[in-house]
Chain A
Amino acid sequence: MTMTSTLTKPAVADERVAKRNPLQKLLGRPEVGALVGAIVLFVFFASVSQTFIQPNAFATVLYGSSTIGIMAVGVSLLMIGGEFDLSTGVAVISSALTASMFSWYFSMNVWVGVVLALVVSLGIGFINGWILMKTKLPSFIVTLATFLMLTGLNLGLTRLIGGGVSSPSISSMDGYQAARAIFASSVNIAGVDVNNTVFIWIALVAVASWVLLRTKVGNWIFAVGGDANAARAVGVPVKATKIGLFMAVGFCGWILGMHNLFAFDAVQSGEGVGNEFLYIIAAVIGGCLLTGGYGSAVGGAIGAFIFGMANKGIVYAQWNPDWFKFFLGLMLLLATIVNLIVKRRAELK
């Protein structure tokens, strides 16, 4: 964005524009606070732990970041669109359970289950968005309800169909190896195993950034989050945009759900509770405003990376991981304050 505007600057520049230098322009970007935080954190862990900067350890950090980051892409877009979703954590597990239980119960190729899981994930997103638009209740209430219902469904249906708290192993079924190769294997790059999720994550961030900044839909996402009434008044399809965002979150949940399933061969039905906050934290650290209308997909990715670094860095620094949550809370607070200050200063100038 900065590139194009500098390249095609009019020959006679307005003298009032010159006052805003490139540095201030950079500081005005939503993800800059998170970027500074990420660099500080990286330098910090690199100095306290030798292992942290080893390629293998760093690949592990990236993998940890990607499992949060994939969801953070969808959650960031949704937050820019002015809503948030508390059901994401368990919806990931619902997706994984759907794929494994369906394939196992009907003894089908796992790909049938994978496709069905996609339908279910998009469906959960659609229902969240549709109820929200119909009732005009806050997304907090609607998605809290879906969160509770999905938690119950995950446990109840798994016991009813499989007779246990975890889904039965599907490792010997048709299509398992192929699906595993896509969703849960690694690629060796210069002697370092990098998990596929890292590439999926980067691809999702790139697509989301492009959609957000360079397409009509992206314009609408900013608008419905910034001021839904204004957006509606100029003809933006507010309902479709918001429902679409919830479905995008569902899509990200499906990818992560498939990874969870094929990284092992079974899923614990009680998992996922609490993860929804990690995704929201990543988005907020990345500079997405809770009130909507401001943020970026790259910011969410940096937020997830910060999370991954803190999570694994504590282990590499050989500290007690008990401290991780405290650390995370502190990071969240600092990052949001930095974002706020940076944004205010940049906009005032």
Chain B
Amino acid sequence: MNAKQIDQQQLLKDEKDPLTHTPVHLLSLESVGKHYGNIVALTDVTMAVDNGRVTCVLGDNGAGKSTLIKIIAGLHQHDEGTLKIMGEERKLSSPREALDAGIATVYQDLAVVPLMPIWRNFFLGSELTTGVGPFKKLDVQKMKDITKKELADMGIDLRDVEQPIGQLSGGERQCVAIARAVYFGAKVLILDEPTAALGVKQSGVVLRYILQARDRGLGVIFITHNPHHAFPVGDRFLLLKRGRSIGYYDKKDITLDELTAQMAGGAELAELAHELEQLGGHGDIVKEVHGEMADVAPAGGRAG
């Protein structure tokens, strides 16, 4: 592989440690590992997130992407390595703690409660109230207005914020979740496979919101298994495989083809073709796999 691995120091932007005023990352992981019992889910993963940058985490199913975001989102705790927020070492023990530290997560499937109205979902867990003591009540009108405005700012034109969020399309739901995170002052936005269940057009819409969140100065972590979605919006790329980091690149050091090749694992395809040949009778599939190999080879001539 001719792509050059990332140099951490080079990536440091303007963030300063509040005490020492030395440059720090907004969020950084160093050699982080996690095991469940005797099963090693993640080992030796290093990555960083900065303001106005999109860090993409790529990997196939079971590569450890979920474990990684669960550690950053406070759902699980890491066993090895260090997690630093603004240069300060932390171990997040609950999603609430992660939120308080400015880390918001938009999950692929559990971002929202489907039967609840959009505005209730938008403010869930951070409701606005008026009044005092036992008569403290929800400020319904204000919440509805803010929801409508925030979504309009993100370019989402909703019919009615009173309708159950389950009636929205997958892309729209993702966008509500992103708008929610942005509104509540998230500094780090984790997006778990936001485009996985979406069609081409809807994916494009979500990618645009990712860029919008970035332009607002958020540090974005974009989890995906699709290099074609990651490459156009990402600034740096972490590739995971079987719980390990197999590469961490700056955008200027890697091309889409190289990224795709690393993701698809050319060697594995060759092995698959070999196995199928031995089994015999799968001539057409073998041919297809060979074609695929040609496609993903770093020198392959396929354009984006």
Contacts and interface: CB of A to CB of B under 8 A. Distances in A.
A347 B137 CA distance: 27
Given A14-B160, A17-B160, A222-B115, A233 B138 contact: no
20 contacts: A5-B144, A5-B162, A8-B141, A17-B160, A214-B140, A215-B138, A219-B120, A219-B123, A219-B124, A219-B138, A220-B124, A223-B113, A227-B110, A233-B73, A233-B107, A235-B96, A235-B99, A235-B125, A294-B115, A347-B167
Interface in B116-134: 116, 120, 123-127, 129
A231 B113 contact: yes
Nearest to B75: A233
Given A222-B115, A231-B113, A234-B95, 12 more contacts: A8-B141, A17-B160, A215-B137, A216-B138, A219-B138, A223-B125, A226-B113, A226-B115, A227-B113, A230-B112, A234-B124, A234-B126
B3 to A, nearest CB: 35
A17 B161 CA distance: 10
A231 B99 CA distance: 13
Interface string A294-308: 100000000000000
A216 B139 CA distance: 10
A159 interface: no
B114 interface: yes
Given A215-B136, A231-B124, A233-B110, A226 B116 contact: yes
Contacts of A232: 95
A254 B114 CA distance: 34
A223 B167 CA distance: 16
B164 A347 contact: yes
A236 interface: yes
Contact of B116 (A16, A20, A293): A293
A4 interface: yes
Contacts of B167: 347
A14 B151 CA distance: 15
Contact of B114 (A220, A226, A235): A226
Contacts of A210: 137
Among A4, A219, A233, A234, the most chain B Cβ lie within 10 Å of the Cβ of A234
B110 A219 contact: no
B156 interface: no
A233 B95 contact: yes
A189 to B, nearest CB: 29
A234 B125 contact: yes
Given A16-B159, A230-B110, A216 B129 contact: yes
Nearest to B100: A235
Chain B CB within 10 Å, residue with most, of A17, A216, A218, A231: A216
B254 to A, nearest CB: 32
Interface of A: 1, 4-5, 8, 14, 16-17, 20, 210, 214-216, 218-220, 222-223, 226-227, 229-236, 293-294, 347
B276 interface: no
Interface of B: 73, 75, 95-96, 99, 105, 107, 110-116, 120, 123-127, 129, 136-138, 140-141, 144, 159-160, 162, 164, 167
Question: Which of B96, B125, B141, B167 has the largest count of A CB atoms less than 10 A from its CB?
Answer: B125
A226 B124 CA distance: 12
Contacts of A236: 124-125
A4 B140 contact: yes
Contact of B111 (A8, A230, A294): A230
A235 B180 CA distance: 13
B95, B111, B116, B137 — which one has the most chain A CB atoms within 10 A of its CB? B116
Closest 8 CB pairs of A and B: A226-B113, A235-B125, A234-B125, A230-B110, A235-B96, A16-B159, A214-B137, A227-B113
A177 B273 CA distance: 89
A87 B105 CA distance: 38
Contacts of A234: 95, 99, 124-126
A216 B134 CA distance: 12
A291 B95 CA distance: 25
A218 to B, nearest CB: 8
**Residue of A219, A220, A229, A294 with most chain B CB atoms under a 10 A cut-off:** A219
Contacts of A216: 127, 129, 136, 138
A1 B129 CA distance: 16
A227 B114 contact: yes
Nearest to A227: B113
Q: Which of B73, B96, B124, B140 has the most CB of A within 10 A?
A: B124
Nearest to B99: A235
Nearest to A15: B159
Contacts of B129: 215-216
Given A4-B140, A233-B95, A223 B160 contact: no
Nearest to A2: B162
Most-contacted residue by chain B among A227, A229, A235, A294 (CB, 10 A)? A235
Contacts of A1: 140
Nearest to B127: A216
Contacts of B116: 219, 222-223, 226, 293
A102 B73 CA distance: 50
A17 B164 contact: no
A4 B141 CA distance: 8
A233 B95 CA distance: 6
A244 to B, nearest CB: 15
A17 B144 CA distance: 15
Contacts of B75: 233
